[in-house]
Chain A
Amino acid sequence: MSKLSQFSRSLAIVKKDMLIFYLKGPVVIMGLLFPFFLFGAFLIGRDLSHAYLFVALIAMTAFFTSTAVGPTIIPWEARSKTFERLISSPISITTVLFGDMQASFYFGLIITSFISLTAIFLGIALNLLIFIPVVILALLTFSAMTILMSSYPPTDVPADVMMLSSLVKFTLLFISGIFVPLEKLPWYARAVSAISPLTYMVDALRYSVSMHGYFPLWLDLIAMLLFSLIFFFFGVVIHKRVLEKRFT
């Protein structure tokens, strides 16, 4: 079977995910309401530049929206007994996961695109040649991360995965230079922040609003690309390994 045919079938999975999961309660809460309130809490009582606020807003929106859908899909499907039907159709596990990843990506893309319009109201001179590729690459990275998040444990309880993924997401959020710029962090905190893909998005976004960041822009882009490949690859490998456990 050709790769093109598998890609076309992955789009059927995207459509299914959009129709079923985009409006699920946990997705709306974690993907839409939560980043809004978190940003509000970050904003209140601080005298920050519009550019700084815009970077934080876009990073939080992209991060939370693109990681809201993915982790819950497989546990949800396993619980509602639709997963076996899905994987017994003529598609590979990789195709199923690629479809789920795309569903996360498009959810993030729609919301982040809409929120990006705030740049106009805030009067920010945005370099779109940097901003658009950075946002797309970051959304891909975070969407791929959800494939890894949903791979283990092989549970059919969506809340279990939500809890674990929230733990990971909040940890990454606080070490990624959104609340405190990287250059103001102590050296050990900077070392920890280097393992977060969100760090590179935030840093690259700063280039799009002010033409300077902590790491070189090319490094930010390569790091995100590598993270997305690693997340998806290991996500698929683990999903394949634990597949049997979902039926026993």
Chain B
Amino acid sequence: MNIEIIKAEHLTKYYGDFLAVNDISFSVHKGEIFGFLGPNGAGKTTTIRMLTGILNPNSGRIEVFGMDMKKHKIEIRERTGIVPEMANPYIDLSAMRNLRLMGRLYGMKGREIEERSVELLKLFNLYEKKDTKVRGFSKGMKQRLSLAMAMLPDPELLFLDEPTSGLDVMSARLIKKIIREEQKKGKTIFMNTHNMQDANELCNRVAIINHGKLIAIDTPEKIKEIGAKSNVIEFSLSPFKFKEGIVDGRVEILGDKVKVYTAKVDETIKKIVNYAERENLKIVSLNVEKPSLEDVFMALVGEKNE
């Protein structure tokens, strides 16, 4: 049986006259990684702020661990770790002091804080820098520390707002690995992201939000099926040359590659081969793929990120 850890019902949020979140409902089950996807300004951060009790919705209801957010904010937060968007650790404090502060705010005992801090600093490859002020940390190190701070009280539920945004490859990989390990331990993770690859690799289910409205919610593979009516043909020619109009369907030129979104695979491949022969071009690569999550996302939210 799926236990609902988060239950959001008809959430609506206005900033003045601006409708940021428009009547959205969803639930997140125990032990799953739930991805909340959307372009910038879609309402992702507003939603996570409502789910963590920082903002109150204008209407709608939030239940976390079966408790009403309005009445049990502090009790819910006791069992929750949060990495807010752009939230930094305190740069004038060392990594260790940041963790100690977080431990005290969660009511942990001194010895427990020390042991857990050391464990997490080692896990996030920050132990050597434990007494260094965060001011000198790179963005990746700050984000790793931020996640360590959220994980310090060993919460059952983690809210992560863009956890790998703008990070170096090593930091992003480490964070993703740790997120997977947390899930294996039975933790529930709610993750805001606009990184489709992260969502595809990590999430059990994803919801796509645009202009404050939920437009899809399902597993990544099932969401990809929305776009399965068309396939993606990616090819490269040498020397690179391509004329618009030789194939049907939506065409994207990406460097020395061409992507064609079409339902007519056989017909399109023949046209590409004929064109290459006619123009005396070498076919360097030619792949037929199902649309990626990103392709479906783009089709759903539109090309323009308004």
Majority-rule SS of B interface residues: loop
Quick one: CB contact mask for A52-85 with B, threshold 8 Å, 1 for yes?
Answer: 0000000000000000000000000000111011
Are B55 and A16 in contact (CB-based, < 8 A)? no
Instruction: Report how far A11 CA is from B103 CA in the complex, Å.
Output: 12
Are B88 and A87 in contact (CB-based, < 8 A)? no
Instruction: Report how far A87 CA is from B149 CA in the complex, Å.
Output: 14
Are A87 and B97 in contact (CB-based, < 8 A)? no
Are B55 and A85 in contact (CB-based, < 8 A)? no
Majority-rule SS of A interface residues: helix
Are B88 and A80 in contact (CB-based, < 8 A)? yes
Are B88 and A247 in contact (CB-based, < 8 A)? no
**Among A12, A19, A80, A84: residue with most chain B CB under 10 A:** A84
Residues in chain A near residue B82, CB distance under 8 A: 85, 88-89
Give B92's nearest chain A residue, CB to CB.
A20
Also in contact, A19 and B15, with CB within 8 A (given A88-B82, A90-B77, A244-B55): no
Q: Which of B104-112, B220-228, B231-239, B255-263 contacts A (4 or more CB under 8 A)?
A: B104-112
Q: Which of A1-9, A30-38, A120-128 contacts B (4 or more CB under 8 A)?
A: A1-9
Residues in chain B near residue A85, CB distance under 8 A: 82, 84, 87-89, 146, 149
| Residue positions of B touching A, CB distance < 8 A | 15, 49, 52-56, 74-75, 77-78, 82, 84-93, 97, 101-102, 104-107, 146, 149
Are B90 and A81 in contact (CB-based, < 8 A)? no
Instruction: Report how far A95 CA is from B79 CA in the complex, Å.
Output: 19
Are A12 and B105 in contact (CB-based, < 8 A)? yes
Residues in chain A near residue B52, CB distance under 8 A: 88
| Shortest CB distance A239–B (Å) | 13
Instruction: Report how far A102 CA is from B87 CA in the complex, Å.
Output: 25
- Does A15 count as interface, using CB distance less than 8 angstroms? yes
Are A81 and B92 in contact (CB-based, < 8 A)? no
Instruction: Report how far A87 CA is from B92 CA in the complex, Å.
Output: 19
Are B74 and A247 in contact (CB-based, < 8 A)? no
Are A15 and B101 in contact (CB-based, < 8 A)? yes
Also in contact, A19 and B104, with CB within 8 A (given A82-B89, A88-B52, A248-B15): no
**Among A11, A243, A247: residue with most chain B CB under 10 A:** A247
